[in-house]
């Protein structure tokens, strides 16, 4: 399938280790490739993905040594998320990074802000302003010229008759 997508000029990024879409098959949100056999399979899978034509591979939820060995064994960039410092790049889920999620936080997530409370307050204030008619106000509204307003009003009254 990857070869077909790549030959159709559709870029493909691989994803190995913990794949959240398959979490039920993997036994939950658990670190993957924690033993020699699984790490060897991970490395082989990365090499197969590279051979198939992926432009990069996300390595998620794996030990740092496995990520390092994958990165050293292939020429396409590796992007780590919960894979230690030995990948070509790093990524975090935006909502985790800025603190918009209050649920379980994986070990590898570093929060750079706690925006959930501020975001909740902002959305509540917005909803309150809309319900009370305070938003939008005149300065937040586009207005037509008086001539256009008059002409549109005449047209509107003809539609209602």
Residues catalogued as catalytic: 60
For tokens 């396409």, the residue is: 76
Contact (Cβ atoms closer than 8 angstroms) between residue 61 and residue 82 = yes
Contact (Cβ atoms closer than 8 angstroms) between residue 46 and residue 57 = yes
Contact (Cβ atoms closer than 8 angstroms) between residue 90 and residue 40 = no
> Which residues neighbour 23 within 8 Å (Cβ) at sequence distance 6 or greater?
29
How far is the CA of 130 from the CAs of 96, 116, 118, 143, in angstroms? 29, 21, 18, 19
Residue 149: Cβ within 10 Å count:
11
């Amino acid at each position: 399938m990857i070869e077909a997508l790549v030959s159709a000029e559709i870029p493909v990024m691989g994803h190995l280790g913990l794949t959240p879409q398959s979490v039920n098959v993997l036994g939950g949100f658990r670190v993957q490739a924690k033993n020699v056999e699984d790490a060897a399979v991970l490395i082989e899978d990365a090499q197969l993905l590279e051979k198939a034509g992926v432009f990069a591979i996300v390595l998620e939820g794996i030990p740092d040594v496995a990520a390092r060995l994958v990165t050293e064994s292939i020429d396409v960039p590796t992007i780590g998320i919960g894979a230690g410092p030995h990948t070509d790049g790093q990524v975090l889920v935006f909502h985790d990074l800025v603190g918009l999620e209050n649920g379980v936080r994986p070990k590898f997530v570093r929060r750079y802000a706690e925006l959930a409370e501020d975001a909740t307050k902002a959305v509540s204030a917005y909803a309150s302003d809309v319900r009370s008619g305070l938003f939008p106000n005149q300065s937040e509204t586009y207005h037509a010229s008086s001539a256009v307003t008059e002409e549109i009003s005449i047209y509107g009254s003809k539609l209602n008759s």
